[in-house]
């Protein structure tokens, strides 16, 4: 496999995405105060269905009538004009593929779903990048959406080739649009595909999921991100066969290292190969449960260092591992209380201070 372009984050920290606020300004204050080197725009799922994990990236599919609505998204395959609806979507898709910027913009957020993103961009325009070295965006992943969004018979759309393709194409062009928008601020952009449903691969309850199909769908989105000048990443908040990511075009793997460190340690050999070709591991070491009140920067540093030592003992290059690592919460914080979410970000900021090496991140994009 081809090597990735150099990206050495040197244990810089960022967030996963969601926060438990209903307004963007309060969320941005926490983000800039905690992860100023790599700030992200805030997802605000408490605003309603259009801002939810499932609904936030469906605008183009809803406006073309392919999916019914935000409240209970379903593919409208039973409608008499289903073919016309698909045709309308593909007209936008082909125009965007041909470089039409107005058509690409059709794959953006809806008004409410994009409030956190719009506020982030407006803040950057007004106040500048400050000490930011990297900007981070995110979108929901195709497997998770495909398992959750169904047709009228409640059959998961991921198992239908036509419906899956519609989802993947919509997400890929959204990822391209979002990456291009953030790249206008002149910094490298990490665009993370948040796809917790990837844990289902290999599970007895989802035996028909195919490895090659999952990788192809991830690569479709990752390649659009890379073509737009971004760094493609994936976030999964459960244990899984990480070689699926190692064998894809995803450069940054973000996982729940607090609960699932062992799942990475058993793959030391494949992990080392991933790092050798430029892959980055983003360690979700700050718990997003009540345990965060029993942890602090020192206890989490010890936990992470023990994990690093075990990987080095198994043959992973220790210097490369630290150079090609990031730090995050273990998962999104959107379901927590404000106080617990703020605790997560404050502990992350403190941990970054004790873990970061003197060297600055290196990019070659």
Task: Provide the CATH number for the domain around residue 222.
Answer: 3.20.20.210
**Residue 364 in this model has a pLDDT that exceeds 60:** no
Q: What is the torsion angle, in degrees rounded to the nearest 10, for the CA atoms of residue 134, residue 140, residue 144 and residue 147?
A: -160
Strand partners, 234: 193, 253
Strand partners, 40: 136
In this predicted model, what pLDDT tens digit does every residue of 16-51 receive, in sequence order?
999 999 999 999 999 999 999 999 999 999 999 999
217 assigned to some structural domain: yes
Q: How many domains does the chain have?
A: 1
Domain extent, residue 292, equals 7-46+133-363
* Confidence at 151, pLDDT banded by 50, 70, 90: confident
Q: Which of 71-75, 115-119, 153-157, 334-338 has the lowest average pLDDT?
A: 153-157
**Residue 336 in this model has a pLDDT that exceeds 60:** yes
199 assigned to some structural domain: yes
Predicted pLDDT at 206: 77
Whether residue 331 contacts residue 16, with contact meaning beta carbons closer than 8 Å, is answered with: yes
Cα separations in angstroms, 136 against 14, 17, 56, 121, 207: 8, 9, 17, 12, 34
**Residue 316 in this model has a pLDDT that exceeds 90:** yes
Strand partners, 236: 255
User: What is the CB neighbour count within 10 angstroms for residue 37?
Assistant: 18
Question: What is the residue-averaged pLDDT of the chain?
Answer: 94
In this predicted model, what pLDDT tens digit does every residue of 124-135 receive, in sequence order?
999 999 999 999
Whole-angstrom distance, CA of residue 117 vs CA of residue 230? 17
Predicted pLDDT at 111: 87
70 assigned to some structural domain: no
Q: Apex CA 217: angle with CA 213 and CA 222, to 5°?
A: 140
In this predicted model, what pLDDT tens digit does every residue of 170-227 receive, in sequence order?
999 999 999 999 999 999 999 999 999 998 887 766 768 999 999 999 999 999 999 9
Q: How many helices (H) and strands (E) does the chain have?
A: 14, 9
**Residue 5 in this model has a pLDDT that exceeds 90:** yes
192 assigned to some structural domain: yes
Predicted pLDDT at 361: 65
Predicted pLDDT at 360: 56
154 assigned to some structural domain: yes
Whether residue 246 contacts residue 290, with contact meaning beta carbons closer than 8 Å, is answered with: no
Q: Token pair of 187, please? A: 């910094």
Query: Which segment, 34-43, 151-160, 352-361, is predicted with the most confidence on average?
Result: 34-43
37 assigned to some structural domain: yes
Q: Which residue has 């606020």 as its token pair?
A: 21
Predicted pLDDT at 357: 58
Ramachandran region of residue 264, left (φ > 0), alpha (ψ -120 to 50) or beta? alpha
For residue 82, what is the enclosing H or E element? Answer: helix 82-97
Question: What value does the mean pLDDT take over residues 137-148?
Answer: 96
88 assigned to some structural domain: no
**This prediction's pTM:** 0.96
Whether residue 283 contacts residue 327, with contact meaning beta carbons closer than 8 Å, is answered with: yes
Q: Token pair of 261, please? A: 């460190």
Whether residue 76 contacts residue 85, with contact meaning beta carbons closer than 8 Å, is answered with: yes
Q: Which residue has 């199909």 as its token pair?
A: 213
57 assigned to some structural domain: no
């Amino acid at each position: 496999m081809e090597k990735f372009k150099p990206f050495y984050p040197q244990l810089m920290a960022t967030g996963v995405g969601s926060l438990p606020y209903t307004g963007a300004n309060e969320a941005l204050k926490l983000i800039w105060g905690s992860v100023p080197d790599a700030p992200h725009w805030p997802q605000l799922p408490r605003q309603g269905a259009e801002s939810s994990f499932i609904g936030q990236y469906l605008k183009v599919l809803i406006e073309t009538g392919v999916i019914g609505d935000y409240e209970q998204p379903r593919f409208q395959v039973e409608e008499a004009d289903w073919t016309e609806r698909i045709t309308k979507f593909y007209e936008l898709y082909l125009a965007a593929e041909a470089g039409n910027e107005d058509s690409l913009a059709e794959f953006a957020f809806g008004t409410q779903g994009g409030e956190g993103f719009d506020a982030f961009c407006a803040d950057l325009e007004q106040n500048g990048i400050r000490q930011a070295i990297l900007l981070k965006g995110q979108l929901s992943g195709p497997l998770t959406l495909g398992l959750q969004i169904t047709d009228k018979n409640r059959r998961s759309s991921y198992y239908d080739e036509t419906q899956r393709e519609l989802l993947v194409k919509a997400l890929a062009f959204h990822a391209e649009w979002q990456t291009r928008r953030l790249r206008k601020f002149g910094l490298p952009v990490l665009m993370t595909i948040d796809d917790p449903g990837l844990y289902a691969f290999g599970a007895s309850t989802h035996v028909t999921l195919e490895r090659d199909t999952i990788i192809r769908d991830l690569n479709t989105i990752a390649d659009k991100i890379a073509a737009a000048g971004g760094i493609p990443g994936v976030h999964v908040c459960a244990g899984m066969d990480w070689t699926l990511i190692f064998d894809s075009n995803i450069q940054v793997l973000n996982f729940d290292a607090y609960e699932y460190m062992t799942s990475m340690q058993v793959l030391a050999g494949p992990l080392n190969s991933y790092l050798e070709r430029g892959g980055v591991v983003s360690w979700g070491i700050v718990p997003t449960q009540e345990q965060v009140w029993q942890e602090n920067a020192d206890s989490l540093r010890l936990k992470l260092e023990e994990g690093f030592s075990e990987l080095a003992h198994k043959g992973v290059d220790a210097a490369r591992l630290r150079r090609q690592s990031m730090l995050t919460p273990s998962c999104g914080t959107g379901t927590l209380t404000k106080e617990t979410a703020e605790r997560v970000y404050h502990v992350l900021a403190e941990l970054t201070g004790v873990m970061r090496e003197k060297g600055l991140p290196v990019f070659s994009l």
